[in-house]
Structure 1
Amino acid sequence: MGSKKKEIALQVNISTQELWEEMLSSKGLTVVDVYQGWCGPCKPVVSLFQKMRIEAGLDLLHFALAEADCLDVLEKYRGRCEPTFLFYAIKDEALCDEDECFSQEKDNSEDEDVASSEKSCTLAIIKPDAVVHGKADEIIMKIQEAGFDILTNEERTMTEAEMRLFYQHRAGEEAFEKLVHHMSSGPSHLLILTRTEDAEDVVSAWRTFMGPCDPIVARREQPNSLRAQYGTEMPFNAVHGSERQEDASRELALLFPSFKFSEEVPKATLDKSGHEAKTKDED
């Protein structure tokens, strides 16, 4: 009976005041997707929240759905067309002391912190266009031959919600929607790379090995690069690499939540307006 109640608290579509109050009494963090009856809940984020719930623990993170028209407490959210998420947190003294126990469980489980404390790392993604054409293994072999160590290689189909967050700094660009759609269209290979010989910074070394962002330019300027050999046209350029070390840290933290950094993340370079400076060749 207890397990049934927990399942309801995690995934119930809250339609009454009684269920709403029961949800508010749940220990841990509860994320409520407030939706409109005419459009339904936000489906793209469901798998992302479920993944986060598994990472955080079933007793720490709950997910619920609530239709705005069914509850007076949600009256101010009625008629909105954008997704709305509410977060409610209640500390459970019976659970571990905040994040301390969760960290200990991670340390005592399988070794998920794949980076050596003496090595800098970067993110590499073999994109869906290269995977669907059966080029992933060939690219991985070339990566290793070029002197990169692959600490993690995970095949995963990413959600649109993940990719919107991943590329949020490009949200204003014309190609944003096309990029998000492509990156969530099929399986990718997500790699954490480092180098045995640190003669060159791993982030810069990987970007050099990928070649120019546009495959057409890559074939003209760096014909031996990965994008020249496996890319076709934008955004189907076969591989992604973090632009700078701070970008690698952000992207790895997003896609590999259990990944821990041993070194200080460098401060981002700021432009005169105080915003993080970016170059245009970011993918």
Structure 2
Amino acid sequence: MGSKKKEIALQVNISTQELWEEMLSSKGLTVVDVYQGWCGPCKPVVSLFQKMRIEFGLDLLHFASAEADCLDVLEKYRGKCEPTFLFYAVKDESLSDEEECLSHEKDDGEDEDVVSSEKTCTLAIIKPDAVVHGKTDEIIVKIQEAGFDILTHEERTMTEAEMQLFYQHRAGKEVFEKMVHHMCSGPSHLLILTRAEDTKDVVTAWRDLMGPCDPNVARREQPESLRAQYGTEMPFNAVHGSRDREDANRELALLFPSFKFSEEDIEAFQGTEAEGAAGPTEAHCIPEDMN
């Protein structure tokens, strides 16, 4: 019974304007899952929220859900079918100057686990099907020969919670469970890719190197692409790439939470500049389709 109470308290349902204002005045970061009455809140993210609150604490991280039809402030989100999350940040004014200084020092790169780049980056995943067939090294060589710089390279077996959130735009579709199961079936290799500034945009260049999503189509249309050479059939197409720059930033933030984006990427990801401590800052994220 105790665990049930914790699960209920994890995500507050906002049903009135008063509760909305109270939640958004909370110090720290508040994440609001805006849902439609006919489909309900996004269930796959609940386990991830629980993990994050355990890791980061309860004081400065808050999760809530709100039905778009119940609040006038959410009128522009009514009738949408995509999962929608709103992020509101309120600075804690009680943070001492000394604590702020320590925080900035850590952000400046003293933490060895923090990866940063001043260049535009994208996520590349060598999927479990290519890894299990021993093709990882070959693919990495081809990535480097194509002019990409590998900023970081990590072997990892994905968790179900991560992949449910990663593919949340496909939740409810027949392919959803198959994709989640495949990505959790064994180790993947996660890479953060960059390119020289005077070359093609890194997101577009990586998608061109991967080729069409379906390996059979790739073999017909782009026989030299990675999916044509190493993929077999859907969803075993060897590699993953973000659809566009916004999607790349979202995926990197999910799988590499300590990654520090360039200023240009931050502006693209947030859409608008932060308003500072004068009031809550809202960032709107609707996951895009991905190959």
When the two structures are superposed, what TM-score results if normalisation uses the length of structure 2? Answer: 0.61
Task: Supply the distance in 2 between the matched residues of 1:106 and 1:267 (Cα, whole angstroms).
Answer: 19
Residue type of the partner of 1:250? R
Task: Supply the distance in 2 between the matched residues of 1:100 and 1:221 (Cα, whole angstroms).
Answer: 54
8 Å CA contact 1:96–1:102 kept in 2: the answer is: no
Quote the residue 2:187 is aligned against: 187
Task: Supply the distance in 2 between the matched residues of 1:275 and 1:250 (Cα, whole angstroms).
Answer: 8
| Equivalent runs, 1:238-249 vs 2, <5 Å | 238-249=238-249
Quote the residue 1:109 is aligned against: 110
Task: Supply the distance in 2 between the matched residues of 1:230 and 1:212 (Cα, whole angstroms).
Answer: 12
Shift of 1:133: 1.0
| Equivalent runs, 1:15-94 vs 2, <5 Å | 56=56
Quote the residue 2:259 is aligned against: 259
8 Å CA contact 1:106–1:112 kept in 2: the answer is: no
Quote the residue 2:83 is aligned against: none
Task: Supply the distance in 2 between the matched residues of 1:50 and 1:149 (Cα, whole angstroms).
Answer: 32
| Equivalent runs, 1:183-262 vs 2, <5 Å | 183-261=183-261, 262=263
Q: 1:226 to 1:248 in 2, by over 3 A?
A: same
Shift of 1:239: 0.3
Q: 1:95 to 1:165 in 2, by over 3 A?
A: farther
Task: Supply the distance in 1 between the matched residues of 2:46 and 2:95 (Cα, whole angstroms).
Answer: 29
Task: Supply the distance in 1 between the matched residues of 2:109 and 2:286 (Cα, whole angstroms).
Answer: 37
Highest Rg: 1 or 2?
Answer: 1
Task: Supply the distance in 1 between the matched residues of 2:258 and 2:104 (Cα, whole angstroms).
Answer: 9
For CA contacts below 8 A with separation 6 or more, give which structure has more relative contact order.
2
8 Å CA contact 1:131–1:188 kept in 2: the answer is: yes
8 Å CA contact 2:117–2:260 kept in 1: the answer is: no
8 Å CA contact 1:48–1:159 kept in 2: the answer is: no
Quote the residue 1:66 is aligned against: none
Residue segments in structure 2 that go unaligned for 5+ positions in a row:
10-27, 30-42, 62-91, 272-283
Shift of 1:244: 0.3
8 Å CA contact 1:147–1:195 kept in 2: the answer is: yes
Task: Supply the distance in 2 between the matched residues of 1:275 and 1:104 (Cα, whole angstroms).
Answer: 29
Quote the residue 1:124 is aligned against: 124
Task: Supply the distance in 1 between the matched residues of 2:51 and 2:104 (Cα, whole angstroms).
Answer: 20
Task: Supply the distance in 2 between the matched residues of 1:111 and 1:131 (Cα, whole angstroms).
Answer: 27
Task: Supply the distance in 2 between the matched residues of 1:109 and 1:144 (Cα, whole angstroms).
Answer: 28
Task: Supply the distance in 2 between the matched residues of 1:205 and 1:143 (Cα, whole angstroms).
Answer: 10
Residue type of the partner of 2:268? V
Residue type of the partner of 2:180? V
1:140 to 2:140 alignment:
yes
Task: Supply the distance in 2 between the matched residues of 1:142 and 1:275 (Cα, whole angstroms).
Answer: 33
Shift of 1:171: 1.3
Residue type of the partner of 1:265? A
The DSSP-based 3-state class of the residue aligned with 2:189 is strand
8 Å CA contact 2:247–2:287 kept in 1: the answer is: no
Residue type of the partner of 2:144? Q
Task: Supply the distance in 2 between the matched residues of 1:47 and 1:266 (Cα, whole angstroms).
Answer: 21
Shift of 1:49: 5.8
Q: 1:14 to 1:212 in 2, by over 3 A?
A: closer
Q: 1:258 to 1:175 in 2, by over 3 A?
A: same
Task: Supply the distance in 2 between the matched residues of 1:198 and 1:266 (Cα, whole angstroms).
Answer: 22
Aligned length: 216
8 Å CA contact 2:219–2:229 kept in 1: the answer is: yes
Q: 1:94 to 1:202 in 2, by over 3 A?
A: closer
Identity %: 65
Residue type of the partner of 1:142? K
Shift of 1:277: 9.2
Quote the residue 1:24 is aligned against: none
8 Å CA contact 1:120–1:194 kept in 2: the answer is: yes
Shift of 1:152: 0.6
When the two structures are superposed, what TM-score results if normalisation uses the length of structure 1? Answer: 0.62
What is the aligned-residue RMSD (CA, Å)? 4.2
